Amino acid sequence: MKKIMGAVITGALFAGLILLLGIYDVAAIGPDGTEVGFSHINQLVHNLTGVNMLWYEITDYIGYGAIAVCGMFALAGFVQMIKRRSLLKVDREIWALGGLFIAVIGCYVFFEKYIVNYRPIIMPGETAPEASFPSSHTMLIMTVMIAVMIVSDKYFGKGLGAIVRLVCFLTTIVTIGGRLWCGVHWFTDIIGGILLSATLLYLFAAAVSGGRRRKADPDLEFAYDNRKTGKRNNTAPKTMKGYKPKH
C-alpha cells in the first residue's frame, strides 16, 4: 500500500508540474520564440550550465547501455520460457520488468506527440525545436537502473548484487547530472523525468513485492528450500508399515 501511495503522490506531482508549466511564469525564452513555464528558474539554470555536447554524447551512450540491459532481461525471460515450457512460469520479476520497459516506451511516444516544452536549443543538424519534456534519457536510465537495483539480489546474488547496485546508482546520478549539464533540456524537463520515473518505479516495486507477500503453499516452500540448500529435510514424519494410531 505504501508503494501505491508513493506512485499516487509522485504521479500527482508530475501532473501538477505539467499544469504549472502551462500557466506559471510562462515566457518565450526558447529558440524561435518557444514558450516555457517557470521561465526565470529555467533560464537561470540554462545560463549556468551552458551547452556541452560532450555530455550529451556521453549520456546518449549510457542510454544505449540501458537498452542493452532491457535486452538482457528479455533474453533471460525467453530462456526461462523455453526451459519451463510456459510463459506463465516466467518469473514475476521478469514480467514486471517487461511491463515497466513497455511503459517507458509508451510514455516516450506519448510526450513526443503531446508536447509540453521544446528544447532550449535547436539541435545540430535540425532546423526546428524538438520536444524536451520530460527528459527521455533521465526517464529511461533512472527507471531501468533502479529497477535492476530492486531485483539485483535475486539475479546476481548478494555479493555481486551489491556491486551491481552501486554501478546502477552511479550511472543514474551521472545521467541526471550529465543530461542537465549538457544544456539540451530545461531544468523542469529533468524534474519531470525524475517524477515520472519515480511513479513507474513505485508501481514496479508494488508489483514485485506483491508477489512475495502472498502466502506460499507449504509443499512449494519446502521444495524451494531443498533447491536452494541442496539438502533433504529429515525431520518430516515418515510413514511406517504396521503403525496404528492410538485412540
Domain residue spans in the chain? 2-210
- Is residue 187 within 8 A of residue 117, CB to CB? The reply is no
Predicted confidence at residue 126, as pLDDT, reads 82
Q: For cell 504521479, name the residue.
A: 11
Predicted confidence at residue 129, as pLDDT, reads 87
If you count DSSP H runs as helices and E runs as strands, how many of each does the chain have, helices first?
Answer: 7, 0
Q: Quote the pTM value.
A: 0.79
- Angstrom CA distances, 116 to 62, 110, 130, stand at 25, 11, 11
| Distance separating alpha carbons of residues 197 and 161, to the nearest angstrom | 22
Predicted confidence at residue 78, as pLDDT, reads 87
Return the ∠ at Cα 32 (arms to 26 and 35), rounded to 5°: 10
Full 3-state SS string of 202-233: HHHHHHHHHHHHCCCCHHHHHHHHHHHHCCCC
For 127, half-sphere exposure in the C-beta direction (CA atoms, 13 angstrom radius) is 0
- Please identify every stretch of the chain with a pLDDT value under 50, giving residue numbers as ranges: 212-243, 245, 247
Predicted confidence at residue 138, as pLDDT, reads 93
- Is residue 38 within 8 A of residue 21, CB to CB? The reply is yes
Predicted confidence at residue 124, as pLDDT, reads 85
Instruction: Tell me phi and psi for residue 36, to 5 degrees.
Output: -150, 140
| Distance separating alpha carbons of residues 74 and 129, to the nearest angstrom | 34
